[in-house]
Chains A and B, each alone.
Chain A
Amino acid sequence: MAQAVVRDIDKNDPGRGLDLRKLGMWTFLGSEVFFFGALVVTHLSMRGVVAPSSSKANYDVAAVRNLFGDNVLTSILAFILLTSSLTMVLALDGVKTNNQKRFRFWLGATIACGLVFLGGQVYEFYHIVHEGVTIKNMMFGSTFFFVTGFHGTHVAVGVVWLTSLLVSAIRHPERYNAGNYMAVELGGLYWHFVDLVWVLIFTVIYLI
């Protein structure tokens, strides 16, 4: 009888029915929103500063922005990163429909997109440093490398996470199926968040 009472109560208390791990992930992402918020605010408030005493103060923001060209490279990278959100959804769909092949293929595609994005970012960093803008010599450089660097670190963590998921999926396929896909969904939540943050960073740093 008591069991029936509990079932009855749970119907009216949605909190008790939520998935434990998903709830934790959402809470963590709530905190991450504030982390990137603080990063972006720092960039917005500091990027126009020209150092009064620095000998390299003759850079102005517009000149540095020219280094990005017409944002062609960054736009392509942004497109790739956003596409990886789609591939992640397809990977989750694969595991939910018990299609191991589809699951692994799209998970691999997501990782590949992440790696291409990171490669592009490394190339961009190299290019900009080569043109004389470093994290030290001007404020725009400082905030640029700080903000995009932390985003890149998040992407890298995501790549490691999804890769370990893929390795595990290959070694223990029995652990991933339509009844047991939470590990994939959690990785996906994080990955979508990192993609979404890039929309904000891309807009704030490259477009406006």
Chain B
Amino acid sequence: MATDVSTLHHAPAKQRRGWLEWITTVDHKKIGIMYAVTAFLFFVIGGLEALLIRLQLGTPQNTLLTPEAYNQVFTMHGTTMVFMAIMPVNAGFMNYFVPLMIGAGDMAYPRMNAMSYWLLLFGGIVMYSSFVFGGGAPDAGWFAYAPLTSTTYSVTRGMDYWVLGLQLLGVSSLAGSVNIIVTIIRLRAPGMRFNRMPLFVWMSFVTSFLLIFALPSITVGITLLFFDRNFGTNFFLPAAGGDPLLWQHLFWFFGHPEVYIMILPAFGVVSEMLPVFSRKPIFGYEFVAYSGVAIGVLGFTVWAHHMFATNLGVIADTFFAAASMLISVPTGVKIFNWLATLWRGELRFKTPMLFSLGFIAMFVIGGISGVSLAAAPFDLQVTDSYFVVAHFHYVLFGGAVFALFGASYYWFPKITGKMMSERIGKWHFWILMLGFNLTFFPQHMLGLQGMPRRVWTYQQNQGWDFYNLLSTIGAFCIALGTLVFIVNFIISLRKGAPAGNDPWDAATLEWATTSPPPAHNFDVEYIVHSRRPLWDNKYSGEGRGMTINYDFHPHLPPPSFAPIIFSFGLFVLAYGMLNLASAPLIGIPLILVALAIAFVGMNRWVGEIAQDPVL
């Protein structure tokens, strides 16, 4: 049932202009940009929340925030950074670059791709609207431990908004992951075998599988929570026979793979940048690729290392401790491969390279504290202390965020056609590096000295005052660094030097097209013969890396209103569900309206598929 593309090719796609162009777009590049910009806005919001946390903790017995406000701020900081900043930035880069790197014209399902983006935006709006409509934001932590989430301890509607926001974000991620998986399996350019794919594509592939298998667990968990809070069930309420540990299992079965969901794409971009700026192929390609797969598989066997303090028993603790330590093997394999890539390379210390090197150093520190936490006896000493906060900020900020900033510098020329300023970029890197270590290194000491996490203030003269002050100063340093990035971004966007197709002399297919690429990505079809098509064509001889098929007719689906209409239906549905138990007279009509809107969107969608069979 192959569709004859040549007949479809003649129908010119209707183009829309201005903001409608963005609302209706199904172009993976525009969607990728919207993902990244939205995620960066949430990153700034989450960062402001972090500054509030640090201001409150900067001095002992501070009363800047009330305990209630503090709970809301740290809950929203974690939730925002995980679900609305790092994950969608990853999704944005995957959207933009996976099709380009495998030589495809678009994602497998362009309309579903647009839906994924709109659900991210709407999910974030639902969650943040709790400040206005919910009587307060979610306040039980991003991990939402029962029974803190019960109506007894979390009296505002905040956690209900949290649940429904996460449901929308979950649908968004699930659809996005299915899209990436199918795109990679099905739309690779001829000759782009799996063992020739760029490592960023490999890591996107693994990450997407992690998402489709991990998300259902939290979906069930938050739905049970919603029933507990709204429909009188007692799944997580011990007084009525419920089990708070059930929540922890469901949450961490998702939550631990989630850690790899955030970090694996970062591994991927670093594996792209290091070879380019070392002027050498990656060392041990197969090991870097398959160790990513190993991390993904093992990632599902370690969730209970978050639960050592819940008395699971010696056998379970031993198993989960051993499995967690086992993960350091494939991770270590990657680190050594990166170092070996640098070895005797012609290193070029451009900004993306600095961030890659910073990433390796910071991630190793976070990795080492991680291995120590995998040892159950040590974990019992420092669990719920600032040591853990220091650890996961080293892997998620020192790891993922550093790599993603590096990726921004690396790919900005491709996306905009202009170079980012190297001078400001280096300032950005060094300020961020200083601020990051100033913020989080002292937290190791605080944790070892017994300062518990999630507390809104502390008594003075316990030996915690100085380190907390340092940490707060560091946080403002990070804010300054981020500001420098924003300035660089705006200046470079307006008057950056022209980039040309391939400013870094890189090896992968995204650099074979113009910067920015045309709507259909490539004018010709590349037939790939090696892992480094551009380098091999340039340095080993024309035709060694790739050859060209000129008999090629790119086909793109026209812009569509269907994805945003359908997503808006689900957005209204969230508010309907919020009111279903408390105010059914509002909730039920809202749900009916929502279903009607979703039906209109779906109907349009199905009609468009009939015209043009790309979902």
Interface residues of A (CB under 8 A from B): 2-3, 5-6, 9-10, 13, 15-16, 18-21, 23-24, 27-28, 30-32, 34-35, 37-39, 42, 45-46, 49-54, 57, 135-136, 139, 142-143, 146, 164, 168, 172, 175, 179-182
Contacts and interface: CB of A to CB of B under 8 A. Distances in A.
A112 B193 CA distance: 46
A53 B239 CA distance: 6
Nearest to B220: A38
A135 B610 contact: no
B243 interface: yes
Nearest to A23: B182
Nearest to A139: B241
Most buried by A among B185, B187, B219, B221: B185
Contacts of B239: 52-53
Contacts of B242: 46, 49, 139
B547 A5 contact: yes
A135 B182 contact: no
Interface stretch (B52-60, B209-217, B514-522, B566-574): B209-217
A38 B215 CA distance: 11
Contacts of B160: none
A129 to B, nearest CB: 13
A194 to B, nearest CB: 15
A168 B231 CA distance: 38
Contacts of B315: none
Contacts of A54: 240-241
Nearest to B185: A15
Interface of B: 1, 108-109, 174, 177-179, 181-182, 185-188, 190-191, 193-194, 212-217, 219-221, 224, 227, 231-235, 239-243, 246, 250, 253, 525, 527, 547-551, 606, 610, 614-615
A182 B213 contact: no
Q: Which of B182, B193, B221 has the most CB of A within 10 A?
A: B182
Contacts of B219: 35, 38
B233 A135 contact: yes
Nearest to A175: B610
A175 B1 CA distance: 12
Given A24-B109, A24-B178, A42 B220 contact: yes
Contacts of B220: 35, 38-39, 42
Contact of B246 (A31, A39, A45): A45
Nearest to B188: A16
Q: Is the interface of A mostly helix, strand, loop or mixed?
A: helix
B190 A180 contact: no
Nearest to A15: B185
Nearest to B215: A31
Nearest to B614: A20
9 contacts: A6-B549, A10-B190, A19-B1, A23-B182, A31-B212, A38-B216, A46-B235, A54-B241, A179-B1
Contacts of B215: 31, 34
Given A2-B548, A32-B216, 18 more contacts: A5-B547, A9-B191, A20-B186, A20-B615, A23-B181, A24-B109, A27-B182, A31-B216, A38-B216, A39-B220, A45-B243, A49-B241, A54-B241, A135-B231, A142-B233, A146-B227, A146-B233, A179-B1
A50 B242 CA distance: 9
Given A32-B216, A49-B243, A182 B186 contact: no
A37 to B, nearest CB: 7
B192 to A, nearest CB: 8
A50 B615 contact: no
A56 B187 CA distance: 58
Kindly list the 7 A-B residue pairs having the minimum CB-CB distance in the complex, ordered from nearest.
A35-B216, A2-B549, A51-B241, A136-B232, A38-B220, A34-B216, A31-B212
A179 to B, nearest CB: 6
Contact of B1 (A15, A49, A182): A182
A6 B185 CA distance: 16
B247 to A, nearest CB: 10
B307 to A, nearest CB: 15
Contacts of B610: 172, 175
A139 B234 CA distance: 7
A18 B188 CA distance: 12
A31 B550 contact: no
The residue among B227, B233, B615 with the most chain A CB atoms within 10 A of its own CB is B233
Nearest to B253: A38
B227 A51 contact: no
A49 B232 CA distance: 16
A24 B615 CA distance: 10
A126 to B, nearest CB: 18
* A13, A16, A38, A39: most-surrounded residue (chain B CB, <10 A): A38
Contacts of A143: 235
Nearest to B243: A46
Given A23-B186, A27-B212, A42 B235 contact: yes
Nearest to B548: A2
A53 B548 CA distance: 74
Contacts of A18: 185-186
A31 B242 CA distance: 27
B186 A2 contact: no
Nearest to A53: B239
Contacts of A46: 235, 242-243, 246
Most buried by B among A5, A27, A30, A52: A27
A15 B551 CA distance: 22
Contacts of A45: 243, 246
Given A10-B190, A27-B212, A34-B217, A42 B232 contact: no
Given A9-B527, A52-B241, A142-B233, A15 B188 contact: yes
A16 B235 contact: no
Contacts of B527: 2, 5-6, 9
Contacts of A35: 216, 219-220
Nearest to A35: B216
Nearest to B615: A21
B250 A3 contact: no
A6 B190 contact: yes
Contacts of B213: 30-31, 34
Contacts of A38: 216-217, 219-221, 250, 253
B235 A20 contact: no
Contacts of B190: 5-6, 9-10, 13, 16
Contacts of B188: 13, 15-16
